[in-house]
Amino acid sequence: MTTEEILAGMVDSGRVPHAIMLSEPDGGPAFGIAMGFLEHLYGDAGGRVSKLIHPDVHIIFPTCSPNTSTSLMPQFRALAAGGGRFTEAQLNAALGIEGKSSLIAVAEAKEVLSSLSLSALEGGWRSVVIYLPEKMNQETANRLLKSIEEPSEHTVFVLITHAPEKVLQTIWSRCQHFQLGDVLRAPDFEAPELLDSLMDALAARDLLGALEAGEKISALPSRESAKAFCKFASDAMRNLFLAQQGLDLPSTASGRAAEWAPRFKKTFPRSASAYLDKAWRLVDRNVNTKIVFTDLVNKLSSLC
């Protein structure tokens, strides 16, 4: 059965989970699937859900202060009207925040909780769609956690993530998960064996071997190659996370996730992804690559 059929079956059977997480590659179909699920849930023949104008459907997404999802909803609505598929870059362009660091701030959580404290305007379901929950900071997640864990009757949360390994564990563990098919291929990187060497050394607790692997990574021919390694390794950490959770891997999965899964702690992929993101930013800012990757190896070793 497809994800859409499973979700529709939940509605038809009256067994709708309180929190659903759809994991997809950037640019995938999750938002359209979420809207289809909610339209079925609301029996919305008028298409108000898909038009993003239903009064009991609340949508939050990453923005930059002082803007909120509510203030930027017209731009989001115009983007989503194109069929529900868009990338993060397209979203940022539509919101006018290209090149800026976006997040789901605590103000969004306060607004959602305020809305949920009231009865549904149409007397039925209330729903909250959180687009990119990995962009929530700790305070935002903590404020929403109670509602996600124990929502009021006829309330459902739908979370759409491109990086499930970066979603806070307290949020992740409260959701029913659906891994959508791979839409984009794995990031290009010309020397995947460098990651294999690093991961094998880390798994063996071989710090010297890990540092030697880091030396080879720092000797890549260009900064673009070094940044490509960070993206490739980040994708591999996502696959490692999925494998450790017993979820299906994309057919284009980077790395040897199934082999690595039992050799690393389940906390490893989340923390490693954060360190790899930081390494990418430092390389992009022209920090010495030997310093960047030596520090990265030391931090990754500390996780093992």
Q: What is the pLDDT of residue 44?
A: 76
Q: What is the pLDDT of residue 251?
A: 63
Burial class (CB in 10 A: 0-12, 13-18, 19+), 271: middle
Q: What is the pLDDT of residue 153?
A: 87
Residue 261: helix, strand or coil by DSSP? helix
Was domain 193-302 assigned CATH 1.20.272? yes
Distances (CA, A) of 72 to 60, 62, 69, 80, 96: 10, 10, 5, 13, 10
In angstroms, how far is CA 294 from the centroid of its own chain? Answer: 27
Q: What is the pLDDT of residue 155?
A: 93
What are the start-end ranges of the H helices in the chain?
3-13, 30-42, 73-80, 88-95, 106-116, 138-149, 169-172, 193-203, 207-218, 223-244, 257-260, 268-284, 289-302
Taking the whole predicted model, whether its pTM rises above 0.85 is answered as: no
Residue range 85-127, pLDDT digits in tens: 899 999 999 999 988 889 999 999 999 888 888 888 887 899 9
Q: What is the pLDDT of residue 214?
A: 96
Residue 160: helix, strand or coil by DSSP? strand
**pLDDT < 50 regions, the chain:** 183-184
Q: Please state the domain extents for the chain.
A: 3-179, 193-302
Q: What is the Cα–Cα distance from 289 to 215, expressed in whole angstroms?
A: 9
CATH class assigned to 3-179 = alpha beta
Q: Following DSSP, what letter does each residue of 88-147 receive, concatenated? A: HHHHHHHHT-TTS--BB-HHHHHHHHHHHTSPPTTSS-EEEEEE-GGGB-HHHHHHHHHH
Which two structure tokens, joined as six digits, stand for 103? 């997040």
- The answer to whether 44 touches 52, Cβ cutoff 8 Å, is no
Q: What is the pLDDT of residue 266?
A: 92
